[in-house]
């Protein structure tokens, strides 16, 4: 990224500069011609093509053309950035919340606050925060990842244990489970965005904006508290060595050797799809709390329909983006096809979210997440170089979970390397 880049965030009290290139809205509107406004949308989520067809059937003023691209980290994001640089980008693109600040830092997004701000009330506060920087709005929230406790209820019941409501109880249960059988563990290692959700719950921020600079705080006291807790479980041998999403992890979930997953709502589909042997054994409860009676929730995952730099008709783009996130029939289909959990406040009662799930013993598991979603801590900001931050953090976390170094060390190293990268890119950093 060029050092001269700067983001200009317009606000009532003045601009909040983060040292990156100013973004300006494009002219144009869907009402200037008798022809429908043309909008192109790039994404990869299952069901998006069908959603576009439904929109085009029911709307005459805007015509959307959908193009499927590789998932973001597998090439989609680079394709989008290349298109912006070449001046031929689509109006809309699927962008994960964690990646959106990086796009903004590279001048790849349009600020559509003047059009979108009126719809803020339609979305969960934490989801809306994820598509904004300062007063700028860069897209419509689509889905979100409120977290809960997935646990092997059959195993817990066999040991006379209830689902833990606090992290202290979680540790006590971990000790009892491992004592009953040394091949059984409370959990497996968490990396990057799954680990971030544990910090998110308590408001242990990783990034923030301090005047015209980025503040990096992965190694703050609040983050070290969380790190020390999980380090204690590692030191006592209570964490499985099976990496998440590895076949050994799925095997452990199916045979009961991994007792819990503290994860986002979409983990339900992951667990069901990879650990068939666990069917009927698992259940879901709220995320454990640091203090009894607290009601804090973390988030892991979620994406936006972002408006890319150079969009010729931001108003038409927003019309579709808002519809995609809030249309009940369409989103019910996206829940079934893509496992998305809505960021919109009015969709918790969708048919797909109110049915019992046989894998989880017939439990209506989405009831847990419907209560959790509004409680997700909104005080979270992703940084502008998350790809590098996550890679550096994973390197350290991978070693720490296996007993080489500590989680605290991993956070400190990731913080130092992130700060160095920000400075290398010409971005201001608050010390």
Q: Is 257 helix (H, G, I), strand (E, B) or coil?
A: coil
Nearest to 102, CA basis, from 417, 419, 388: 388
Q: Is 336 helix (H, G, I), strand (E, B) or coil?
A: helix
Tell me the pLDDT band of 167, cut-offs 50, 70 and 90. Answer: very high
The average pLDDT across 316-323 equals 98
For the chain, domain boundaries: 37-144+303-349, 147-299+380-430
Q: Which CATH code is given to the segment(s) 147-299+380-430?
A: 3.40.190.10
Verdict on whether the full-model pTM lies above 0.85:
yes
The average pLDDT across 64-72 equals 97
Q: Per-residue pLDDT for 15 more than 60?
A: no
Q: Are 213 and 429 in contact (CB under 8 A)?
A: yes
Q: Are 21 and 133 in contact (CB under 8 A)?
A: no
13-22, 174-183, 204-213, 252-261: least confident range: 13-22
For residue 48, what pLDDT is reported?
98
Token reading at 118: 């009126």
> Given 3.40.190.10, 1.10.10.10, 3.40.50.300, 3.40.50.720, which CATH number is that of 37-144+303-349?
3.40.190.10
Q: Exposed/middle/buried for 130, CB within 10 Å: 0-12, 13-18, 19+?
A: buried
Q: 265-305: per-residue pLDDT in tens? A: 999 999 999 999 999 999 999 999 999 999 999 999 999 99
What mean pLDDT value characterizes the chain? 92
Token reading at 390: 């996550």
3-12, 117-126, 416-425: least confident range: 3-12
């Amino acid at each position: 990224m060029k050092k001269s880049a700067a983001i200009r965030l317009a606000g009532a009290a003045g601009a909040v500069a983060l040292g990156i290139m100013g973004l300006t809205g494009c002219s144009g509107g869907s009402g200037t011609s008798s022809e429908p406004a043309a909008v192109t949308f790039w994404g990869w989520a299952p069901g998006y093509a069908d959603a576009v067809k439904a929109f085009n059937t029911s709307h005459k003023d805007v015509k959307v053309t959908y193009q499927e691209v590789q998932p973001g980290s597998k090439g989609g994001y680079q394709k989008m950035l290349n298109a912006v640089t070449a001046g031929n980008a689509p109006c809309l693109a699927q962008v994960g919340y964690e990646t959106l600040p990086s796009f903004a830092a590279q001048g790849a997004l349009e600020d559509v606050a003047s059009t979108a701000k009126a719809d803020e009330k339609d979305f969960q506060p934490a989801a809306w925060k994820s598509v904004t920087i300062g007063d700028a709005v860069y897209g419509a929230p689509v889905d979100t990842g409120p977290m809960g406790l997935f646990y092997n209820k059959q195993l817990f019941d066999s040991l006379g244990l209830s689902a833990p409501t606090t992290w202290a109880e979680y540790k006590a249960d971990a000790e009892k489970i491992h004592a009953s059988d040394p091949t059984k563990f409370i959990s497996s290692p968490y990396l990057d965005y799954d680990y971030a959700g544990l910090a998110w719950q308590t408001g242990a921020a990783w990034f923030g904006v301090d005047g015209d600079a980025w503040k990096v705080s992965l190694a703050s006291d609040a983050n070290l508290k969380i790190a020390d807790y999980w380090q204690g479980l590692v030191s006592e041998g209570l964490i499985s060595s099976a990496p998440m999403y590895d076949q050994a992890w799925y095997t452990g979930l199916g045979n009961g050797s991994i007792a819990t997953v503290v994860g986002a709502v979409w983990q339900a589909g992951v667990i069901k799809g990879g650990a068939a042997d666990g069917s009927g054994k698992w259940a879901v409860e709220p995320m454990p709390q640091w203090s009894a009676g607290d009601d804090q929730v973390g988030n892991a995952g979620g994406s936006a329909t972002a408006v890319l730099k150079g969009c010729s008709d931001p108003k038409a783009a927003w019309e579709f983006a808002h519809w995609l996130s809030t249309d009940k029939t369409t989103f019910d289909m996206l829940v079934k096809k893509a496992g998305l959990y809505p960021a919109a406040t009015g969709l918790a009662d969708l048919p797909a979210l109110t049915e019992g799930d046989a894998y989880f013993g017939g439990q209506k598991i989405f009831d847990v997440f419907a209560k959790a979603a509004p409680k997700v801590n909104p005080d979270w900001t992703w940084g502008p170089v998350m790809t590098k931050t996550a890679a550096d953090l994973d390197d350290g976390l991978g070693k720490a979970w296996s007993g080489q170094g500590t989680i605290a060390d991993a956070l400190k190293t990731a913080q130092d390397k992130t700060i160095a990268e920000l400075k290398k890119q010409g971005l201001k950093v608050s010390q």
